[in-house]
Amino acid sequence: MSIKRVLRILLKDFSVEPRKSFFIWALIMPFALTLLFQFAFGSLFEPKPRLGIVDQGNSVITTEVQELEGFEVLILTETDDLIDKVKQHDLDAGLILSADFDREVKAGEKPLLEFYISGESLASNRIIVSVTTIEIIRGLEDSEAPVEVETVYLGEPGLPLSIRLVPLIVFYALVMAGMWVPSSSLVEEKEKGTLTALLVTSVRISEVLLAKWLLGFIFATFLAAATLLLNQAFGPRPLEVMVVIILAAALTSMIGLLIGIYSKTATMLFTLIKSLGIFLFIPVVFYLFPEWPQWIAKFFPLYWIISPIWEVSIKGEPLSLVWFEMMIAAAITLGLIPLALLLKKRMLT
Q: What digits encode the pLDDT tens for the residues 80-122?
A: 898 898 888 888 888 888 888 888 888 777 787 788 888 767 6
Identify the band that residue 36 occupies on the pLDDT scale cut at 50, 70 and 90: confident
Residue 70: helix, strand or coil by DSSP? Answer: coil
pLDDT tens for 7-21 read 888 888 887 766 677
Identify the band that residue 214 occupies on the pLDDT scale cut at 50, 70 and 90: very high
Distances (CA, A) of 284 to 8, 159, 169, 252: 36, 15, 10, 14
Give Rg (Cα) of the chain: 28
Query: Using CA of residue 55, residue 61, residue 67, residue 70, what is the dihedral sign?
Result: negative
Bridge partners of residue 75, in order along the sequence: 53
Cβ atoms < 10 Å from Cβ of 327: 12
Residues of the chain with CATH 3.40.1710.10: 50-141
Residue 99 sits at φ, ψ, to 5 deg, of -65, -35
pLDDT tens for 289-316 read 767 887 888 888 888 888 888 888 888 8
DSSP 254-298: HHHHHHHHH-SSHHHHHHHHHHHHHHHHHHHHHHH-TTS-GGGGG
> How many residues does this entry show for the chain?
349
Predicted TM-score (pTM) of the model is 0.65
Bridge partners of residue 116, in order along the sequence: 94
Distance CA 13, CA 17 (A): 5
pLDDT at 124: 64
Distance CA 17, CA 50 (A): 47
Distance CA 180, CA 196 (A): 21
Class in CATH terms, 50-141: alpha beta
DSSP 179-196: IIHHHHHHHHHHHHTHHH
Whether the predicted pLDDT of 155 surpasses 50? no
pLDDT at 145: 47
Distance CA 304, CA 323 (A): 10
